[in-house]
Amino acid sequence: MIQITTVGRVTADLELKESAKKTPYLRFDLAVTKGYGEGKHTVFLPCWAFQSIAQRMESAGVKKGSQIMISGDLDVVDFERRDGSKGKANKVSVYDWQFVASGKKEEKEESAPVYDEHTCADEDDLPM
């Protein structure tokens, strides 16, 4: 078993689905940026989340562009292409996730009041 923890952005809005056995699941791709400078590139990881993890992601409002950190099991799966040739693909089975702050300010924070440095409190207002 290969465990992976990585940060990336969800590439499309999530759609909670149910398997034939009524198990809720999500299938999504996570865009993960690797490297620096000229070698910087993006890798797209196919991810699967099941049951309570999938439900929690959907109810938390994870959507296209959300930056999240996932932890899961990385699997290499064999598949057969339409032309009959065989291939391999990566798949992450997510067992934990959380939102990651993007560094962008969503709302402008109110700044603290600015006082003139020569202003002093009235002695009657002091607690002593």
In-domain check, residue 86: yes
Compute the half-sphere exposure of residue 70: CA atoms within 13 Å on the CB side of its CA.
29
The domain of 7 spans 2-102
Query: What average pLDDT score do residues 15-40 get?
Result: 95
Q: What pLDDT, in 10s, does the model give residues 60-109? A: 999 999 999 999 999 999 999 999 999 999 999 999 999 998 766 555 44
For the chain, what is the domain count?
Answer: 1
CATH of the domain at 96: 2.40.50.140
123 located within any domain: no
From CA 8, how far away is CA 71, in angstroms rounded?
Answer: 11
Let me know if residue 82 belongs to a domain: yes
Residue 15 confidence class, pLDDT cut points 50, 70, 90? very high
pTM: 0.74
Answer with the residue of higher pLDDT: 13 or 115. 13
Facing residues of 45 across strands? 30
Does residue 121 belong to any structural domain of this protein? no
**Is residue 29 helix, strand or coil?**
strand
Question: Is 97 contained in some domain?
Answer: yes
The CA-atom distances, in angstroms, between 113 and each of 105, 110, 120 are 20, 9, 15
Any domain includes 58: yes
Residue 9 has pLDDT above 60, yes or no: yes
pLDDT at 124: 57
**pLDDT tens digit sequence for 35-62:** 999 999 999 999 999 999 999 999 999 9
List, in sequence order, every residue forming a beta bridge with 44; answer none if it has no partner.
Answer: 31
Neighbours of 70 (CB within 10 A): 25
Query: In the predicted model, is pLDDT for residue 120 greater than 80?
Result: no
92: number of Cβ within 10 Å = 23
Rounded distance between C-alpha atoms, residue 92 and residue 46, angstroms:
6
Residue that is written with structure tokens 């607690």 in the block? 127
